[in-house]
Structures are given as structure tokens and as C-alpha cells.
Homo-oligomer: A and B are copies of this chain.
Amino acid sequence: MKIVIIGGVAGGASAAARARRLDEKAEIVVLERGEHPSFANCGLPYYVGGKIQSRDKLLVAPVKMLRDRLRLDVRTRSEAIRIDREAHQVQVRNLDTGQETSESYDKLIIATGASPFRPPIPGVDGSRVLALRDLKDADRMHAMATSGSKRAVILGAGFIGIEIAENLVRRGIAVTILELADQILPPWDREMIGPIDAHMRQQGVDIRLGLSVESFEETPTGLRVQLTSGETLDADFAAVCIGVRPESKLAAEAGIVCGARGGIQTTANMQTNDPDIYAVGDVVEVECFVSKTPVQIPLAGPANRQGRIAADHIYGRNSKYRGTQGTAIVGVFEKTAAMTGLSEKILQRIGTPYEKVYIHPADHAGYYPGAEGMTLKLIFDPSTGKVLGAQGVGSKGVDKRIDIVAMAIQAGMTVDDLEEVELCYAPQYGHAKDPINMAGFVASGVVRGDQPIVHADASLAESQANHFLLDVRSEAEFASGHIPAATNVPLESLRERIAELPRDRRIIAYCKVGQRGYLATRILMQHGFDVANLSGGYTSWLAANPSPTT
């Protein structure tokens, strides 16, 4: 068996390693056009920022290790330039010598990844306009960041842009991020990401939303960036991080079928339309685990696992990729945003009905020192309660909660299941009712009709005339800020003052985070009022209405 693999990093190297374990006798050729296989793409921003000091740390599995341990025939600086499916051959160019040779295969695995998208903007190809995908890119950005640069512009506030921003700030560089969307971290829902946005601004990052670049122009001393808003920014360099595109040209030219967004289409075994050709990693289109629609989600975990699956299938094993559920995380200045499953905006786009709840728990028991707050949003099917997605923002313990929901989604669990899951509890680590149980309680209450809820979005503002806003917090809390037009009746005296409440309008109850609002809702429902709780309370209202007039 001779296996040729194009691309020697996450997906390709994993496929090669697994193939070797399954077949000691196979000839396994890994073609990699870069200098190094198996490097840590995900570490590149931190190398730029000096958090990872040694470049060697990024070389997860150097060529020598892959040869010595796995007897992989790794050929770096070797670019596959054509696939001849009929002849079962790949044309390879040696990037040092320019020489072309051809390599035969029994099975071919395409693991070429995805390359940063460069928008067709004048000047985008200039030497001060960088991107960050591989070690070469990292070296350039590292050099720029450590040679006296004072200002940088980052185009795109996705997770790579955000990570670069943090790392340039670490180097003392003033950073402006430009983002066309109306929020940073577009995969997350907008109201969730406010704390990260605010935190980054506090760290001095200049974030500009809703605009983009018209042109880049090199000046004698740096770069002039012309914005769509008319403004100009001067910087030493720019980084373009507005997403990636599957590197599927080679495959497409050979007649391998690709999807609408350019990703190679495969079976669950990672086989393309040519049974002798597999494709894995960022270059493939995958099925969303939750919505079952085709998506491009370029992440390292899926790439690694797909590589392993392809190798399995070559050896007659029916390993299957289950689809990508979009579990993602980003850290910036000690804050964390994580998500799994579908976001609200995706659900709206694909027209799937959903409900959501917000909670604002602490990472661990409040009576034990050091507890820090987070916000969790749980999204679920309003009739069956099936968990569709979750997002978390905070500092400690966010990754854990999103991983737990990721498991729930993998298992097809409902919000009722979350009520009953049994998680680790000691006061340093969690709660007797973990935030996940709590999200389950709240969401189940919503599904069962125990807790009618509304959300702090446009519809709330629109219906203002038709409802009565009831703030059930204490007088002191009310005085320190509240939703306009709200009336304060603290929960503790609600029962006594119930006659003050209107029966001709819906009452929207709210408190700080949703819990007292829920208690008020229960009381009023049982007294025959039409009432709903504002999910996540004033905290969520503030998140959705960043500059309130109180």
C-alpha cells in the first residue's frame, strides 16, 4: 500500500501517523510545501507576542521524529501541483530546486487546509500587510512586532484577529481592530460578546465596528490605511484576518467535487467522489452536527480526528466523522469566550425555532473566595427541549461549562437531562447546583410553561406601551440603575403590594440576573396575572442595551 498525503500538519500528519500504526509496511509519503510539518498553528499568535518564547516549541513533531518513530517519508518544501486521478499520480514541485517529479499513490489524502482570505483591496499584497497561517507568516509578524513597530491595524475581529491583537498589545504595540460586522467574534451572538469587547477596549485596543478598509498604501515610514468611513489610519503594519478559504483548487482541478463554499465534499468516512482520494481538515466541507447542513468550520480538533478516520477507512475500518458541532473557544487578556452548537443568529438564518435562557452564575460557590462571574446562554428546541447550542463568556470555568454542553449536544440530551446531570462539586470548583444544572432548571421551566420569559431585545422595546415593567430588586439596586419606565416593587414585599399591579397589561418582571424575577413570576402567575420574566434580568438587559438611559 502506498499512501500519499498532501499537507503535513494537523489533518495530514494525523492521517499519516494513524496509517503507520495500522500498517507497518505501508509506504507513506507526506508532501508539505512549508519548511516544517506538524507545527502548532494555534500557537502562532502567542509566538508573535512572546508568550511562547522559543520558536522550536511550535514544532510539535519535527521531521526527524516523524521519520524515526513513524517512518514517514516526509518531504518538506514539496508542493503538490497536480493530481492525475487516472494515472494515480501527484505532480510535485520541489520548492528549493524548482524540479518537478511525479509520485504514484494507491490512496491519496488531501489535507491542504485553508488559506487566509485576502480581499481584493488595493495594496493588500504589500509587504506590510500580513496574514497569519504558517511559520513563515509568524516569522514575518514576529519580526515586525519586535523591530520597533508602534501601531498596527488588524482587519477582522474573528478569533485569530483577537488573538493577534492581544499579542501585539503584549509587545506594547497600539492596536486598532476593524470589523465589518457590528460585533467582534462574529460566530458568537452579539449580546454575549459585550464583556469581551469592553475588556479589550479597557486594555487599550481600539475596536471599530461596521467598517472596513478601502485601500492600503505603503508610505516611506509605514502603511496608510484608508477606511470605508473616510478616515485614514497610519500604522507600521496590518494583519488581515477575515477568515479562511479551503485550499481546494488542486482537488477541484482534478474533478474532486467541492461544495458551494469551496470545501471538498466527502462521505462520513472522509472519502471524496474518487474512492481512492480522501480529504480531511480545513479543506473539507462538513456537516453541522446539529443542523445537518453543510458548513466550513476550520478547527484543529476536527482536522486531527478526520485524518485518523481517513486512515482507518483506507484500512477497511468503518470509522465515521459525526459532523462538526462548532465547539470553539478564545481567550483574550484573561477573559474567555466559548461556544458549542448553533448560535442564535445561525438558527434565525436557517429558520429553526428555538428558545434561549441566560444565566449569570459564578464559576464556583460564592461563599468561597475568588468566585468570578460568567454569563451562559443556553439555546434549545422550545417544544422538545433538545439542546441546540450554548455560549459562555467570563474568566474561569467557562471552558468547562461549554465542554459539558458540548457533551450534552453530542449525546442528544434535552434541557431536562441537564437538570439532572451530576457534576463535580466542592466549593473551589463549582456549585451544589452547577451552572449547568441551573441552566437546565431554568430552560426546563420555560419549556414546561412554569416560567414564561421575554428577552431584552428589540421586541421588548417595541412592546413597551403594552406591558408593565416590574423591577423586583431592592430599592437600593433600583436606585443605582434600572430599565426606563420600570416600577420598583421589591420581591420581599410583592405579595403585600400585589394590588398595585395592573391586570390589564402583561407584567414583565425582572431582577438582577433572573432568579428573583422568576420568583415574582411564579407568585404573579398563581395570582392570575399575565406575567413573564426577563431572562437574565437587568444584567442581560444591560448587555443588550450597552448605553442605557436610566
Contacts and interface: CB of A to CB of B under 8 A. Distances in A.
Interface in A283-326: 289, 299-305, 308, 321-322, 324-325
Interface stretch (A122-130, A139-147, A516-524): A516-524
B43 A422 contact: no
Nearest to A516: B69
Q: How many copies does the complex hold?
A: 2
Give the interface size class of chain A: 35 or more
Contact of A417 (B40, B46, B410): B410
B427 A369 contact: no
Interface in A263-279: none
The 6 closest A-B pairs by CB, nearest first: A411-B411, A407-B407, A300-B432, A329-B424, A24-B526, A68-B492
Interface string A420-459: 1111111111101110010001000000001000000000
A224 to B, nearest CB: 33
B71 A433 contact: no
Given A301-B434, A302-B422, A327-B423, A368 B52 contact: yes
A340 B301 contact: no
Contacts of A412: 411
A163 B43 CA distance: 38
A42 to B, nearest CB: 5
A132 interface: no
A308 B46 CA distance: 47
A529 to B, nearest CB: 12
Contacts of A422: 289, 301-302, 324-325, 327, 340, 406, 410
Of listed A321, A324, A411, residue having the most chain B CB within 10 A: A411
Contacts of A300: 425, 432
Contact of A404 (B331, B407, B450): B407
A323 B524 CA distance: 34
Given A322-B420, A399-B430, A425 B299 contact: yes
Contact of A403 (B423, B450, B523): B423
A21 interface: yes
A20 B369 CA distance: 31
Interface in A359-380: 365-369
A458 to B, nearest CB: 30
